[in-house]
Amino acid sequence: MTRRPLQAVLFDMDGTLVDTERLWWEAVERVAAGLGRTLGADDQPEVLGRPVEHTAGWLASLTGAPAAGLAAALHGEFAERVRDGVVPRPGALGLLDALAREGIPTALVTASPRAVADTVLEVLGAARFAVSVTADDTEHTKPAPDPYLAACRALGVDPAGCVAVEDTPTGVASAEAAGCAVLAVPSLAPIEPAPGRTVLASLEDATPERLRSLLPYELRVMSWNLWLGGSMVDDHRAKQLKAVLETGADVVGLQETGGTAAQELAEALGWHHHRAGENLGVISRYPITARFGDPDVRFYGAAGVRLRVGPGCEVDVWTAHLDYTPYGPYESAFDGLPATELIAHEEVRLAQMRDTLRRIDESATDGVPLVLVGDFNCPSHLDWPDVAWPVTKAAEEAGLRDSYREAHPDPVRHPGHTWSPIHVLHEDGSGRPEPQDRIDYVLHRGLAVLDSRTVVVGSPSAWPDVAANDWPSDHAAVVTTFAVHRRS
């Protein structure tokens, strides 16, 4: 599994690069004391990492003093302390210079106003930063993701390829909401480690190489119905191998394996595999450390594995195949059934999905993310505005997110159809167009989606002239690339 390259490092200012968090706290203490209020540790979330306007509004709500006057007083108290007492934090300048030597761009991202930031930049050296974003530059500041997203846009980088360096829970929340990995160096308020978040006592312990190690790995997951093992197409096994290699997949959840496909593909690739019954399988370039579900599952059902994808990184991957009849798009397009009847006819698939979700919950381990792929043989409630398809809703209610719709929210612009690249007309000979729909999925819980797409190799001929097709399936595959963080 590959680690994302470090594109930029985004630094908070107050308390992170310079010892102004203490100065800000002292300024707020002074103003609060003038109003007859003594601050304590419980007040820190309303002060540390917060813009002046937030803290002024908070003090106003407590004391009845006008917020505008409090904001001016806070500005004045803080600016006076900044002019007299800006001191770089230990290791800050050394880390900035080390990043500059390696050509890694940096940005200053602060909830302080521009006037304060410019004063601090004079101390640090404005040339050390390619970009600076302050509270004056975005509509919403921390803990909203806006400041970090603005910095990434200005640098032309992907947040998932950046490390944000922060010292407060508020700043950490902002950076993580933007999709950045986080190095936390707490100043006053404690911060706990978490996936995608590393905590150090000092910037003296940080190096460019250490920052690179904080970025997530990339894991590419593929869902593919092989169509009766691929047997309808000539030389299908070689074509299956070619397709897997061309997608760059790291793990493939298979349906309709024809019994032996998972083992044969894995052996040809030098990968690991899990076979469940005559229909399901998982192949993976990473070691399988546990197997879940009924190993003798029938044609419809689900099976899962746990993968060790890197140091401290595990992921559970399940593959599912749900019953194909009755098929909702046919009942809608050909029979004109209303939404209530379409939903009522999903009972068999809904029961299979609930059984799958139960098995997943029984095998789950805290902190281990989950991917559920499969041919669900039903559309999504995210695609049909008038039909709340219950199978995908049940998955969503269990906390699973649809990776393709995360990457492509508009179902009109990006329908993502997986059924069917070869069925243009319905098989009954009536000449009716085959309803095209999205019925194959890569769902997840606890991961970040970097990209998702449907895949078909070549331009397959329509049924029944399929034997020479380069694409040995009647479904398109779905391939999603995830960011996977080490468990803290």
Residue 275: CATH number of its domain: 3.60.10.10
Same domain, yes or no: 341 and 208:
no
The per-residue pLDDT for 440 is 98
Residues 189 and 151 in one domain: yes
* Catalytic residue selected from 12, 14, 43, 316: 12
Query: For residue 391, is it within any domain?
Result: yes
For residue 431, with 0-12 CB atoms within 10 Å meaning exposed, 13-18 middle and 19 or more buried, which class applies?
A: exposed
Which of 251, 242, 249 shows the shortest CA–CA distance to 274? 251
Q: Is the domain of 63 the same as that of 26?
A: yes
What are the residues facing 8 on neighbouring strands?
162
Is the pLDDT reported for residue 312 higher than 80? no
Q: Does residue 170 sit within a domain?
A: yes
75 pLDDT more than 80: no
Give the per-residue pLDDT at 44: 87
Percent of the chain predicted with pLDDT > 90: 76
Instruction: Say which CATH number the domain at 185 has.
Output: 3.40.50.1000
In a domain, 2, yes or no: no
Query: Would 147 be classed as within a structural domain?
Result: yes
Bridge partners for 318 per DSSP: 304, 372
Rounded CA-CA distance 292/389 in Å is 27
Distance CA(111)–CA(114), nearest Å, equals 9
Answer yes or no: do 113 and 129 share one domain: yes
**Residue 12 annotated to the active site:** yes
CA 394 → CA 209, 345, 420, distances in Å? 43, 15, 24
pLDDT at 53: 85
> Is the domain of 77 the same as that of 185?
no
CA-based nearest residue to 292, from 396, 219, 393, 371 = 371
The answer as to whether 3 is a domain residue is no
Residue 1 CB contacts under 8 Å (≥ 6 apart), including other chains = 217, 218, 219, 250, 286, 309, 310, 313, 484
Q: At what angle do helices 114-124 and 67-85 cross, to 10 degrees?
A: 10
Residues 453 and 436 in one domain: yes
Predicted pLDDT at 487: 63
Give the lowest-confidence range in 68-72, 97-101, 218-222, 469-473. Answer: 68-72
pLDDT band at 67 (very low <50, low <70, confident <90, very high): confident
Residue 413 has pLDDT above 80, yes or no: yes
Q: How confident is the model at residue 112 (pLDDT cuts 50, 70, 90)?
A: confident
Q: Say yes or no to pLDDT of 84 above 80.
A: no
Residue 436 pLDDT more than 80?
Answer: yes
Domain end point (choices 178, 212, 246) = 212
Mean pLDDT across the stretch 138-164?
A: 96
**Cα four-point dihedral sign 292, 296, 298, 299:** positive
Residues 385 and 468 in one domain: yes
463 or 311, which is more confident? 463
pLDDT given at position 363: 94
Q: Which of 85, 115, 138 is the last residue of a domain?
A: 85
φ/ψ region of 91 (left if φ > 0, alpha if ψ in -120 to 50, else beta) reads left
Please state which of the ranges 4-18, 43-57, 341-355, 451-465 shows the lowest mean pLDDT.
43-57
Residue 333 sits at φ, ψ, to 5 deg, of -75, -40
- Residue 188 phi, psi dihedral angles, 5° rounding: -110, -50
For 358-408, what is each residue's pLDDT tens digit? Answer: 999 999 998 899 999 999 999 999 999 999 999 999 999 999 999 999 999
**Number of domain units in the chain:** 3
pLDDT at 123: 81
Mean pLDDT of the chain: 93
Residue 167, in any domain of the structure: yes
Q: Which one-letter amino acid corresponds to residue 14? A: D
Residue 103 has pLDDT above 90, yes or no: yes
Instruction: Please indicate, yes or no, whether residues 169 and 255 belong to a single structural domain of this protein.
Output: no
- Average pLDDT estimate for 84-88: 78
Any domain includes 1: no
Q: Would residue 466 count as lying in a domain?
A: yes
Domain C-terminal end among 159, 189, 212: 212
185 plus 111 within the same structural domain: yes
Lowest mean pLDDT: which of 9-13, 62-66, 173-177?
Answer: 62-66
Domain extent for 269: 217-484
> For the residues 408-431, what does the mean pLDDT come to?
96
For residue 168, pLDDT over 90 is answered with yes
Are residues 184 and 221 both part of a single domain? Answer: no
Answer yes or no: is pLDDT of 177 > 60.
yes
Quickly state the pLDDT bin for 69 (edges 50, 70, 90): confident
- Judge if 278 and 153 occupy the same domain: no
182 lies in the same domain as 261: no
Averaged pLDDT, 83-101: 90
Q: What is the pLDDT of residue 116?
A: 81
* pLDDT computed for residue 484 by the predictor: 87
In the predicted model, is pLDDT for residue 335 greater than 90?
A: yes
pLDDT over 70 at 1, yes or no = no
Q: Hey, which residues does 255 pair with through a beta bridge? A: 225, 280
Mean pLDDT of all residues in 331-347: 97
